Amino acid sequence: MLVNRRLILAHFWLAFAVFGIALTLGAWQMFIRSPIGTWLSNPELYYRSLTAHGTVMGYVFPTLVAMGFGYAISESALEQRLVGVRWAWTGFWLIVIGSVMAVIPVALGRASVLYTFYPPLIGNVFYYLGVVLVVVGSWIWVALMAVNLRVWRKAHPGAPVPLAMFANVAGSYLWAWTAVGAALELLLQITPVAAGLKATIDAGLARVFFSWTLHAIVYFWLMPTYIAYYTIVPRAIGGRVYSDSMARISFILFLVVAMPIGMHHTFADPMVGAGFKFIHSAFTALVALPTLLTVFTICASVEIAARLRGGRGMFGWIRALPWDNPMMLALAFSFVMLGFGGAGGLINMSYQLDASIHNTQWITGHFHLIFGGAIVIMYFAIAYDLWPHLTGRELIDLRLIRTQLWLWFLGMIVTTFPWHWVGILGMPRRMAYFDFGDPAIAPQALSVTFSAIGGFILLTSGILFLVILARGMRAPQADAGPYRFALAVHQPATVPIALNTHALWVALMIALTLTNYGYPILTLAMTEGTSVPAVYVGAQ
Amino acid sequence: MSTEETHGNGSASAEVAARVERRWATIAVIIIVMMAVLAAFAGIHRATMPQPRVETTDPSRIHLSGEFVESNLGSVLEANGNVTVRAIGQQYSFTPACIVVPVDTPITLRATSADVVHGILIQGTNINTMLVPGYISEQLMRFARTGDYLMPCQEFCSFGHEGMWGKVRVIDKAEFAGRAKGGGRLSCVGQ
């Protein structure tokens, strides 16, 4: 029962519109720093673009998708009108205002600090305040998800919370808590300096605060994708979820162990000792567990669909899958990219291997493959699946949808595989241009060219995506019926309280964060003489 | 992994499902424990651990006194035959811009930043460390081959970042010892 369709559509449209802009910037960046582009006379333009690309893709786009999808889940999985619609619109407009506020100084070259902030570089204060507003807007969504679940529980005492909503609320809690790290950095450290109240800042402490956000935010981006794996894909291809409880365990594990691992981003940093780096490395290994469980459960769920369709044999069932179904295609592409990206992630998490590729193009390749690839392709699939229910019109051209998904998959492979390779060769990140005339850099030219071509394939696919959605707004009307989620093979009549509530796991998440971050943050905060003069950008 | 829903219809198939699932979960846990053990083993046995201690320094005073004054930057041959390299990064260059070191020698790189966050990456090796203003980075290294290595700044340090490239020149041990005889701090700047 999707009542507030305008609210959900507004979130999705804004998300995909800013995605289109950021994607265009990304393609331009790939081109301009490749051998096929000419050297930028003003490299600063590159960093403006990079700041905008990162800020939109990291903070605005996935947050809006999670919010829109979250509202849709709340209304359709709980079969209950959204409580707090006015608040939801408030959150939406906060994000609009915050985005505009942040993008103006970026466009003017007053905040080219990248979305990772990098103090003691300090940009215009409105950039940071804009980002804070975006986060505050999303926190309203977190609160609404909790409130809606509570209202539903009151009406259905003891009943199992539908899996989609259970996971959705877990994702919202994860986001609420992981955003706190960057929020502390912004509010306690950066904004006072950007506003001119202070002139020094502890760059090391800021990096630790940011690492608190930087890793778990990826799992927040991942949540809608995993919710789609478990609760949309099996239904869309005519199967069942292999195990409802395993799904819940996976989401709980994400909630608990995605948080206390962020310091693997600071392996090469001087302000954290070896002990905490090892602890965070070990916890990072642990976060592979929910993904390994998910891969198994989803493959088994897909196999059920294939066998119901008459598939036989050890592997022969794969042929019986509905490959012309966009959801099936998106899932397969997503899994392939998750496989390669996940393997790369296991390399990054071990200190010894990370030293070879830290801050090289390998890292950029890695997170584009995971986020831009495995995650975003499922955002597309979610939009395609929801669209008829939101617009009351059918998406007719399945062939065009399949083409779009294929292009995204191929584009992502062509972009990120050479990207990984030049990273191994030691090519550093975030550079406006490279001197391909240098004999030591010349061998990387071909790979960088391939990546740039991949960028344009991705841009083509992104435009196609927007065209398909826009055409879907004008297609003939058709009633898509109520929006449903996949059922489990053994649909639970009751669920143990630990798998039906979040309180225990949220407490564990906070406790683990405090044990893994409390000591490093306190010691850094109490160490004298580590604050350094701010370096203002765009002030010249 | 409790599966209360196994009661009811089709409990036989549900038990099979639960058993297969448990097996897979066990395998997954073993994989992860193996990886953590491997990382710990490599760290301890091969001594490839991150820098153990946190050292601080005041970037607004490093040019006035202490170990990172300009006259102390560069490579120095220690009494035990090891080499210590001291360097700083600042927008948008390294000092010294060309670091000279001997081949097959244990080297300690000590470096910091004079302004914003930078990074040192020596291409073709796994030498890779951040330079965070206020803190000293220490990295152990050893080169097996002579030759020139590019050393770009690997962290965004504002508009000139793409132009911040240094160099490491690894030379013969005897040649280095000869040049080190006169004392002082060695570099290959201008050579």
Tell me: the pLDDT tens digits for A513-534?
999 999 999 999 998 888 999 9
Q: What is the mean pLDDT of residues A154-167?
A: 96
Least confident segment among A179-183, A241-245, B154-158, B169-173: A241-245
Residues of B in contact with A496 (CB under 8 A): 2, 4
- The fraction of chain A above a pLDDT of 70, given in percent, is 100
Is residue A298's pLDDT more than 50? yes
- Does pLDDT of A391 surpass 90? yes
Q: Is B26 on the interface with A (CB under 8 A)?
A: no
A201 to chain B: which residues are within 8 Å by CB? none
Is ipTM > 0.85 here?
Answer: yes
Whether the CB-CB separation of A59 and A134 falls below 8 Å is answered with: yes
Asked if B136 has any chain A CB less than 8 Å from its own CB, the reply is: yes
Beta bridge partners of B102: B171
Q: Does B91 touch chain A (CB under 8 A)?
A: yes
Q: pLDDT tens, A469-491?
A: 999 999 999 999 999 999 998 88
Partners of A243 on chain B (C-beta within 8 Å) are 3, 17-18, 21
Q: How far is A220 from A62, CA to CA, in rounded Å? A: 8
> Are B129 and A273 an interchain contact pair (Cβ–Cβ within 8 Å)?
no
CA A525 to chain centre: 30
Verify whether the Cβ–Cβ distance A535 to B59 is below 8 Å.
no
The pLDDT of residue B8 is above 70: no
Q: Which residues of A touch B91 (CB under 8 A)?
A: 535
Chain A residues near residue B124 by CB distance under 8 angstroms? 425-426
The residue assigned the tokens 């009494």 is: B79
Task: With beta carbons under 8 A apart, name residues in chain B contacting A204.
Answer: 132, 134-135
Q: What is the pLDDT of residues A411-466, one digit of tens each?
A: 999 999 999 999 999 999 999 999 999 999 999 999 999 999 999 999 999 999 99
Q: How many CB pairs under 8 A join A and B?
A: 237
**pLDDT tens digit sequence for A21-69:** 999 999 999 999 999 988 788 899 999 999 999 999 999 999 999 999 9
Lowest mean pLDDT among A139-143, A242-246, B2-6, B78-82: B2-6
Q: Rounded to a whole number, what is the distance in Å from the CA of B181 to chain A's nearest CA?
A: 32
Taking the C-alpha atoms of residue A207 and residue A10, their distance in angstroms, rounded to an integer, is: 34
| Single-letter amino acid, residue A82 | L
Q: Do B31 and A288 touch (CB under 8 A)?
A: yes
* Higher-scoring residue by pLDDT: A52, B4: A52
From its phi and psi, is residue A87 left (phi > 0), alpha (psi between -120 and 50) or beta? alpha
pLDDT value of residue B6: 39
Paired tokens of B105: 């020698």
* Amino acid of residue B76: V
CA dihedral B77→B79→B83→B87, nearest 10 degrees, is -70
Query: What is the reported pLDDT for B7?
Result: 42
Over 50: is that where the pLDDT of B4 sits? no
pLDDT band (50, 70, 90) for residue B2: very low
Q: Which residues of B touch A429 (CB under 8 A)?
A: 154-156
Probe site for chain A from B35, B37, B141, B151 (most A CB atoms < 10 A): B35
Residue B67 has pLDDT above 60, yes or no: yes
Contact B156 A430 (CB under 8 A): yes
Interchain proximity B134–A425, CB inside 8 Å: no
Judge whether B121 and B146 are in contact, CB under 8 Å.
no
Instruction: Please tell me the distance in Å from B16's CA to the nearest CA on chain A.
Output: 11
- The reported pLDDT for the residue numbered B47 is 65
Query: Could you tell me if B175 lies within 8 Å of chain A, comparing CB atoms?
Result: no
CA nearest neighbour of A258 among A509, A540, A535, A526:
A509
Contact list in A for residue B157 (CB cut-off 8 A) is 118, 121
d(CA B169, CA A370): 37
Q: Does B127 touch chain A (CB under 8 A)?
A: yes
Please tell me if residue B70 touches chain A, with a CB cutoff of 8 Å: no
Give me chain A's average pLDDT, please.
Answer: 94
- A351/B161 Cβ within 8 A: no
Per-residue pLDDT at B5: 41
DSSP 8-class letter at B67: T
Instruction: Give chain A positions within 8 Å (CB) of B66.
Output: none
Which of A10-19, A38-47, A137-146, A400-409 has the weakest average pLDDT? Answer: A38-47
The secondary structure of residue B107, as a DSSP letter, is E
Kindly state whether B4 is in contact with chain A, defined as any CB-CB distance less than 8 angstroms: yes
Inter-chain residue contact B49 with A351, CB threshold 8 Å: yes
Q: What is the pLDDT of residue A540?
A: 46
pLDDT of residue A528: 85
pLDDT-based confidence at residue B166 (cuts at 50, 70, 90) = very high
Task: Tell me the catalytic residues of A.
Answer: 215, 219, 366-368, 429-430
Comparing alpha-carbon positions, the chain A residue that sits nearest to B91 is: A535
Q: How far is CA A461 from the centre of its chain?
A: 19
Q: Round to whole Å and give the CA distance between A250 and A499.
A: 10
Determine the Cα–Cα distance for residues A295 and A79; give it in Å rounded to an integer. 29
pLDDT for position B50: 80
Residue recorded with tokens 């939109």: A56
How far is the C-alpha of B116 from the C-alpha of B100, rounded, in Å? 25
Strand B83-90 relative to strand B107-113: parallel, antiparallel, unpaired? Answer: parallel
Residues from chain A that touch B116, judged by Cβ atoms under 8 A, are: 118, 120-121, 203, 535
- For residue A271, give the 3-state DSSP assignment: coil
Q: Which of A269, A362, A425, A528 to probe the B interface (max B CBs under 10 A)? A: A269
Cβ of B135 within 8 Å of Cβ of A271? The answer is yes
Sorted by sequence, the CB contacts under 8 Å of residue A350 that are 6+ apart come out as A281, B35, B38, B39, B42
Say yes or no to pLDDT of A270 above 50.
Answer: yes
CA distance B8 to A532: 66
List the single residue in B with minimal CA-CA distance to A537: B158
pLDDT (0 to 100) of residue A55: 97
Give the pLDDT confidence score for residue A512 in this predicted structure: 94
Residue by residue, DSSP assigns A187-235 as IIIIHHHHTTS-SEE-HHHHHHHHHHHHHHHHHHHHHHHHHHHHHTHHH
Question: Domains in chain A, ordered, with CATH?
Answer: 5-536 (1.20.210.10)
CA distance A175 to chain B (A): 25
Q: H or E segment at A141? A: helix A125-155
Average pLDDT over residues B90-102: 96
Question: Among all residues of chain B, which has the CA nearest to that of A428?
Answer: B154
pLDDT tens per residue, range A410-424: 999 999 999 999 999
Candidates B37, B57, B135, B153: best to mutate against A (most CBs of A within 10 A) is: B135
Q: Who among A281, A433, A523 is closest to B39 (CB)?
A: A281
CB contact under 8 A, B128 and A269: no
Q: Which residue of A has its CA nearest to B35?
A: A285
Residue B10 has a pLDDT of 57
The answer, for B83 touching chain A at a CB cutoff of 8 Å, is no
Cβ of A490 within 8 Å of Cβ of B60? The answer is no
Question: Max Cα separation, chain B?
Answer: 88
Residues A237-250, mean pLDDT to the nearest whole number: 93
- Comparing alpha-carbon positions, the chain B residue that sits nearest to A431 is B162
3-class SS of residue A529? coil
Q: Which of B13, B50, B159 sits opposite A43 (nearest CB)?
A: B159
